[in-house]
Structure 1
Amino acid sequence: MSVLPLVFTSGWASGINAYAVVLLLGLMGRAGITDEVPLSLQRTDVLVIAAALFLCEAVADKIPYVDSAWDAVHTLIRPVAGGVVAALLAGQNGSLSDLAAGVIGGSTALASHLVKAGTRLAVNTSPEPASNIVVSLAEDLGVAAIITFALFHPVAAAIIAGVLLVLGITVVLLLLSRIRRALRRRKERRERRRTGGDPAPPGAGGYGGAHRGR
């Protein structure tokens, strides 16, 4: 059986939460649920590190603006992780070259990561924090569900991942104006912190203004 559908799905999921993908695949392989997972992902040290980083992401991903900062840091990490996982899966199966699998998994992870990061910027424009928690939980559950499904029904899972990717890109394009406003506000806040606040206009209030008014 071709490993391409699983490579694509794991790439998409890695762009959302790479640590969850590594952890889930490793645990399922370790438990003997599937033989599609390479031994390198089942190692105890890999599972412990993935679990610790997953917990960190589970917290950071639910805090407004902290989630966007976390996404920015992972702009390189998630595509690389997606590429590595894809190459390992291809090496385990042997039906697709490691290089081709790495390119497919990495590029798919980058695309889904950009969708996630753009969506989070739009969500952060909301004045309440509950939306961040809801979106984060939906992402975590979605990644767990599609990775589990992909191990048993890889083609169907790849189709679902493809549809979700297209829908995500469409949503981000529709929310571009909202995202631009969020970025502009963040830039203004950084500028205010750098300058120590907005300077008062010349002659506004204070002794100097009263003196000139005489």
Structure 2
Amino acid sequence: MIAVLTGMGLSAAAGLNAYIPFLVVALIAKYTDLIVLPSAYGWIESWWAIGIGSALLLTEVVVDKVPAVDTVNDAVQTFIRPTMGGLLAAATAGAAELDKSVEMQHPWVGMLLGVVVAGIVHVGKTTARPAANVATLGMGAPVLSTAEDGAALGLSLIALFVPLLVIVALLAVLAALGWLVWRARSARRRRVAGSHQ
């Protein structure tokens, strides 16, 4: 159960930003014994993977804060974020399997769960951001992007260090995304109603 919660938390984080949970897992696996990745996923902690992940994170952090460009970035990330969620869920489930006292499901189950969780969070993000951009005339993009990056980092750390809190954190992220969509649509309706008067 702990491995499933860890995979879900990392997948949810990947739905917000694919590269933050990847780098968290890579660096913790490389420098600590908290995560021992199976040999099939050992490449995650290689210098070249960390380097590429860092470059992609830097790009994501910059482009995600620019209104309209963030929407294009979200479209590009539609394949990447769920894939990364599945990869991280499978890798951490495989890491749990190294502990022989842990009985895990088939690795594809963890991967599929990761893809679904990351996909749901990604859809919430891609729905909330354009609505918020319109409602704030683009001024909210950098603030929301920074909050999403912080949430991705927080979810990643919770998933690895306190996995029992993953469900609460995941519900909080989904509630926040839903609230953003509702607020943005309400503001847009008020603006439209005001322009007709």
- Range of TM-score over shorter length: 0.7 to 0.9
Deviation at 1:31, TM superposition (A): 1.6
Paired positions, count:
180
Deviation at 1:159, TM superposition (A): 2.5
Q: Which amino acid aligns with 1:85?
A: L
Could you say which structure has the greater relative contact order, defined with CA pairs below 8 angstroms and 6 or more residues apart?
2
Cα distance in 2 for partners of 1:91, 1:81 equals 15
Q: TM-score, normalised by structure 1?
A: 0.76
**Deviation digits for residues 115-165 of structure 1 (CA, Å, limit 9, x no counterpart):** 111111112204544311111111111111221122111011332113322
Q: Is contact 1:150–1:158 with CA below 8 Å preserved after alignment?
A: no
Q: CA deviation at 1:93?
A: 1.2
Question: Structure 1 stretches (4+) deviating beyond 3 angstroms?
Answer: 126-130, 169-180
**SS of residue in 2 equivalent to 1:125:** helix
Q: 1:66 aligns with which of 40, 45, 69?
A: 69
What are the within-5 Å matches in structure 2 for residues 2-41 of structure 1?
2-32=2-32, 34-35=34-35, 37-38=37-38, 39-41=42-44
Instruction: Say which SS state the counterpart of residue 2 (structure 2) adopts.
Output: coil
2:192 aligned partner: none
How far has the Cα of 1:97 moved from its partner? 2.2
Please give the TM-score of this superposition, normalised by the length of structure 2. Answer: 0.82
CA deviation profile, 1:29-66 (whole Å, cap 9, x unmatched) = 11206225553321111111110000000010000000
Q: Which has the larger radius of gyration?
A: 1
Q: Is 2:60 aligned against 1:51?
A: no
> Considering only aligned residues, what root-mean-square deviation do their CA atoms show, in Å?
2.3
Ranges in structure 1 where 5+ consecutive residues have no aligned partner: 181-214
**C-alpha distance in 1 between matches for 2:28 and 2:20:** 12
Identical aligned residues as a percent: 29
